[in-house]
Structure 1
């Protein structure tokens, strides 16, 4: 079996990269060890970030989020719910932090509106009476499952081949170049390649090790609780430094409460703590009291693929949410590229940057088309729910 580029990982970045490459005319095959979206993508809280969350701490990443937020509203409308969002200052929260966030958003060129507590409750009646003021920002909600299906449909239409339940078992490096990849499961074949993209998310370090190269990771788990939605129709963020239980997201008929950040050694085997769930519900209840009494619909944990080349102590929240693109030719393995970190909001940008590097190495002269090419489903979003063309595992919705 042969392909020009093998993409490893069926999350948003991997499928987005396969689509981008296929649209440039590259022969590409994607393999995923389980179902599409079965890792970080399908277990996110589903926020399309405006960049406001990171505006004062990481303005470059915030600017990337804002740019992709605007792009995806145009090209992925069938996957989005333009809910808007608010950062809430509660009684006792630091008003200076609110001012820093507002100023940082203005520096990004983001349009915001400041509301007092009463004005916010007119818009979001479920919001707590402890809310003193709120900053309205252009957050939205994105469906991970629809996004994955839309990208996979377009990738396949452009010529990409997608295999689920096909774990990578080994890589063969010879003459300082990755040449073959053994794939098990549904594929059960050795694939001859010109290039490999490691988009394995929290498993990227393990994947890279198959070629004897290093990708230092600090994966962190995050718990999410989906409850019956008491009527929240906008993203609610606590306006304080990121902490447990500081976001409420209306999604798939529920309200998703999140999240935590705990470093894990193994993205497949980690503790799932009831204490984290209780803490999330209590903290989110400070913003929206009705969620504390709402019946639980589902609970799930995701693992963030944080790239950590430098020590950041035990605080995973201190690690940048930006992405890293690593060309392992620097370590003596040509043809192998790793993309890691980032977030769902910036998946398209990550895929474009990865495809740019791969095409440059392959001598392919073709521009990215994904910034202005609408994804399937924009005119008929239900099409993305009804398709049985792909196996998708996305409890996030």
Structure 2
């Protein structure tokens, strides 16, 4: 075991091969959220979370730990709760004094890093990438349908997000089926053999390359900085100011007509795909956008009643990519092949979960790229 203090990219030898390991590959978004939270009188993250009900606690924790990229609207909410400019939450990872090992230290679990397990996680990620690149028919949808491995878990496995032993039994069994292996021992031996043969070498650099991780983080932080410099979009979940009941007008005074919001038509996309997915395909239909819909909202044909009878196949969901979904509502998740509609709930530990009825799915939305998630702000039930 080595401690997190052993900085940078560690290399270990295994008989005839060397496997690159980046201990900090999960920290894609170094930031100043923890520093500013403590400085502004929030010693515990849970206390800050209660001031930002729009961001689930688990997601807020992942943002602070740098495990997911925040959205600009999320940084604005966090900054508003801390009473600081949003840009003060960002970190310049190119400044001379920045050290990812020092930044990540407070988030270490104290157990150190098991290099053998880290090595296998990277090799397994490379084996998955090699398996998919060698079979064009092995799509993400087919992996989910035939082997029971959800897309979000596949993505995390292909990026070696955690050691094999920390995956649940269902995920491990799905991997045995995918690689046609009878057990964990067989899978480990097969993956190690593929590496010794050199077939995994082309895929290793994309998984455990600190320079590539640093470049991705730098690019996304720069994008966020540019977004935060621009005019803030209207807060989507802010409650409108309360309206006072108007006093009855005198009979001699004519009542003015109530103003109506401007009618706006938006394009409709969608065509049915296998496994409950909806193709991101243009149609010749347009529907009226509800008043709450943002400027980038679009209609999405449901195509199949994947969420049950409450959202029939002939309905059109109104998807707003500028709004983040929340428990109790609906979400649209963009996968490689198309969109997936999900109902959103919370698990007992506060994680945001997306559910589908047909096919029967549970997807951990907190683990998904926020850029792939959009809130459903309305539905039209007439075809």
The TM-score bracket by the shorter chain reads under 0.3
TM-score, normalised to structure 1's length?
Answer: 0.22
Which structure has greater strand proportion? 1
Larger gyration radius, structure 1 or structure 2? 2
Report 1 or 2 for greater relative contact order, CA contacts < 8 Å, sequence distance ≥ 6: 1
